[in-house]
């Protein structure tokens, strides 16, 4: 007999919720019928046709504030010709459930669903209200998703704790051990469009007012700025945990001084590893440059888009002053595309310790560690309201497979899905006692 978690994930993947357009209603119909069968009431929110989020709740005893299990329904588009299997077939190939969303983040959604239903089935009143929340539009800013829900229905989403996406139990990162990560925070995007006007003219007669030349020089000045290494509490704890496996980190584990860690990071050339570099520094990436159409015409306008990511604790306004200083060109108009400060929840809570303890029980040989998300998730909207939000998925994923998130050939092994579901149930049950 096919495992329930596997079967549900296959069915969920087959619903094409690529964003755009999203079509999240497909998944909302799917969840509604499951809740109906289980005798659980649910409510839907539809700010635009087809862009729906769904919320279901089990009433608890009110001994603790509500717990929200959050995941997003929408997925990144997948082009069939770049994949070695149909991204929306949900087929099982070589022991893996295959398709878009298998990792980001339909597997987590099904784990949460089954943990939620298990609380209902066991019949005991949980200590707190338990909310299942599947939302639209995470992949393009949450305007039709969490941002909208918290803006227009703030009282329906009060919570003490939100569990969301963020990290996994990863194999292949450490030589002989798993690393089970929980993400209490994420970097903040500071996406900028830089606009520069200039004088058009004939390419044979350069006049010094070419906006494309001026803009590229300014952007190069910005790119040559080297942001300092900053040890956030999350990164500090992450490296402390790794020190049990990486001997060269031991001096930092002993004295706990940020300057010791910074020296180790520099001496061992860890900044050459993009993931580590981004975990301890603000980053700047020039990702788009547009101007001119002909080889012999000086353009009148040039535009660049820069993706800056700031660590939690960094001040956006201060960083913008620094950006202007390095561009050092008053004729550049800076237009924010999206700006959100880095954000983090306290790791020093009972819930965090409990999640970590359960992960450690199920994976006794793993190292547990906090992880700073380099991208964004919907957790930021809750953290903005002072709600604690942690991101994790208790399934083992090979480091290699993480590339398939927003990439090609996304998949999760049956074993990871089944085990992950059981661990998720355990965590939710213990958070609701
Ligand atoms: Zn996601």
Give how far the C-alpha of residue 408 lies from the chain's centroid of Cα atoms, to the nearest Å: 18
Q: For domain 4-168+371-431, give the CATH superfamily.
A: Zn peptidases (3.40.630.10)
Residue 53 alpha carbon to ligand 1 centre in Å: 15
Residues sharing a CB contact under 8 Å with residue 128, sequence separation 6 or more, in sequence order: 60, 61, 62, 63, 64, 65, 66, 67, 160, 431, 432
Cis peptide before 20 (omega within 30 of 0): yes
Same fold, 4-168+371-431 and 188-339: no
Residue 69 alpha carbon to ligand 1 centre in Å: 14
pTM of this prediction? 0.94
Buried b (16+ CB within 10 A) or exposed e, 126-141: bebbbbbbbbbbbbee
Residue 193 alpha carbon to ligand 1 centre in Å: 25
pLDDT tens, N- to C-terminus, the chain (433 residues): 789 999 999 999 999 999 999 999 999 999 999 999 999 999 999 999 999 999 999 999 999 999 999 999 999 999 999 999 999 999 999 999 999 999 999 999 999 999 999 999 998 899 999 999 999 999 998 999 999 999 999 999 999 999 999 999 999 998 889 999 999 999 999 999 999 999 999 999 999 999 999 999 999 999 999 999 999 999 999 999 999 889 999 999 999 999 999 999 999 999 999 999 999 999 999 999 999 999 999 999 999 999 999 999 999 999 999 999 999 999 999 999 999 999 999 999 999 999 999 999 999 999 999 999 999 999 999 999 999 999 999 999 999 999 999 999 999 999 999 999 999 999 999 999 9
Domain boundaries, the chain: 4-168+371-431, 188-339
Residue 354 alpha carbon to ligand 1 centre in Å: 24
Question: Which residues partner with 391 through β-bridges?
Answer: 164, 183
Residue 139 alpha carbon to ligand 1 centre in Å: 7
Residue with tokens 């359960």: 358
Residue 254 alpha carbon to ligand 1 centre in Å: 36
Residue 71 alpha carbon to ligand 1 centre in Å: 8
The Cα 374–Cα 309 span in angstroms is 8
DSSP per-residue letters across 248-304: GGHHHHHH--HHHHHHHHHHTTGGGSHHHHHHHS-EEEEEEEEE-S-TTEE-SEEEE
The Cα 373–Cα 364 span in angstroms is 24
Two structure tokens written together for 274: 């993009």
Note whether 251 and 362 are within 8 A (CB): no
pLDDT of residue 241: 96
What's the CATH class of domain 188-339? alpha beta
pLDDT of residue 175: 85
Residue 16 alpha carbon to ligand 1 centre in Å: 15
Residue 165 alpha carbon to ligand 1 centre in Å: 6
The Cα 165–Cα 15 span in angstroms is 20
The Cα 158–Cα 93 span in angstroms is 41
Question: Which residues partner with 69 through β-bridges?
Answer: 132, 163
Residue 361 alpha carbon to ligand 1 centre in Å: 26
pLDDT of residue 176: 86
pLDDT of residue 90: 97
Residue 188 alpha carbon to ligand 1 centre in Å: 15
Question: Which residues partner with 327 through β-bridges?
Answer: none
Helix 106-122 vs helix 25-38: angle between axes, to the nearest 10 degrees? 20
Residue 74 alpha carbon to ligand 1 centre in Å: 8
Nearest C-alpha neighbor of 98 from the set 89, 108, 107: 89
Residue 184 alpha carbon to ligand 1 centre in Å: 15
CA atoms within 13 A on the CB side of 362: 23
The answer to whether the Cα torsion of 226, 227, 230, 232 is positive or negative is: negative
Residue 318 alpha carbon to ligand 1 centre in Å: 29
In this structure, are strands 388-391 and 161-164 parallel, antiparallel, or unpaired?
parallel
Residue 166 alpha carbon to ligand 1 centre in Å: 8
Residue 336 alpha carbon to ligand 1 centre in Å: 23
Two structure tokens written together for 431: 């958070």
What are 117-126's contacts with CB under 8 Å, separation 24+? Answer: 117/34, 117/38, 117/40, 118/425, 118/428, 118/429, 119/58, 119/428, 119/429, 119/432, 120/38, 120/39, 120/40, 120/58, 121/38, 122/429, 125/59, 125/60, 125/61, 126/58, 126/60, 126/61, 126/432, 126/433
Q: If you count them, how many residues does the chain have? A: 433
Residue 105 alpha carbon to ligand 1 centre in Å: 5
Give how far the C-alpha of residue 367 lies from the chain's centroid of Cα atoms, to the nearest Å: 21
Nearest C-alpha neighbor of 75 from the set 5, 33, 135: 135
The Cα 259–Cα 218 span in angstroms is 32
Residue 27 alpha carbon to ligand 1 centre in Å: 15
Residue 76 alpha carbon to ligand 1 centre in Å: 9
Note whether 24 and 53 are within 8 A (CB): yes
The answer to whether the Cα torsion of 59, 65, 66, 67 is positive or negative is: negative
């Amino acid at each position: 007999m096919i495992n329930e978690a596997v079967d549900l994930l296959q069915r969920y993947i087959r619903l094409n919720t690529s964003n755009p357009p999203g079509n999240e209603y497909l998944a909302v119909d799917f969840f509604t019928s499951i809740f109906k069968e289980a005798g659980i009431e649910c409510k839907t929110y539809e700010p635009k046709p087809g862009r729906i989020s769904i919320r279901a709740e089990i009433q608890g005893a009110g001994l603790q504030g509500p717990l929200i299990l959050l995941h997003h329904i929408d997925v990144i588009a997948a082009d069939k010709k770049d994949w070695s299997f149909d991204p929306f077939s949900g087929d099982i190939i070589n022991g893996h459930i295959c398709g878009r969303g298998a990792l980001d983040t339909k597997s987590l959604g099904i784990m949460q669903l089954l943990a939620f239903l298990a609380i209902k089935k066991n019949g005991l009143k949980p200590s707190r209200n338990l909310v299942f929340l599947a939302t639209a539009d995470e992949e393009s800013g949450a305007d039709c998703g969490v941002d909208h829900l918290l803006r227009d229905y703030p009282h329906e989403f009060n919570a003490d704790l939100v569990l969301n996406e963020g990290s996994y139990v990863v194999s292949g990162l450490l030589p002989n051990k798993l690393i089970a990560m929980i993400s209490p925070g994420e970097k903040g995007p500071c996406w900028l469009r830089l606009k520069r006007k200039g004088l058009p003219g004939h390419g044979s007669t350069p006049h010094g007012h070419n906006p494309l030349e001026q803009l590229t020089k300014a952007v190069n000045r910005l790119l040559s700025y080297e942001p300092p290494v900053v040890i956030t509490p999350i990164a500090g704890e992450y490296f402390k945990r790794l020190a049990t496996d990486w001997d060269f980190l031991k001096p930092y584990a002993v004295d706990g001084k940020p300057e010791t860690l910074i020296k180790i990071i520099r001496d061992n050339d860890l900044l050459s590893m993009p993931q580590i570099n981004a975990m301890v520094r603000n980053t700047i990436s020039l990702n788009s440059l547009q101007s001119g159409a002909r080889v012999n015409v000086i353009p009148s306008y040039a535009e660049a888009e820069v993706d800056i990511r700031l660590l939690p604790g960094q001040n956006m306004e201060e960083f913008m002053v620094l950006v202007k200083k390095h561009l050092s060109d008053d004729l550049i108009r800076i237009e924010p595309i999206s700006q959100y400060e880095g954000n983090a929840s306290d790791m020093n809570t009972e819930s965090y310790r409990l999640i970590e303890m359960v992960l450690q029980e199920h994976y006794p040989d793993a190292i547990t560690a906090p992880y700073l998300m380099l991208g964004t998730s919907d957790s930021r909207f809750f953290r903005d309201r002072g709600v604690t939000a942690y991101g994790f998925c208790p399934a083992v994923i090979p480091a290699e497979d993480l590339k398939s998130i927003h990439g090609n050939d996304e998949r999760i092994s049956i074993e990871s899905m089944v085990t992950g579901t059981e661990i998720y149930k355990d965590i939710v049950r213990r958070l609701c006692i």
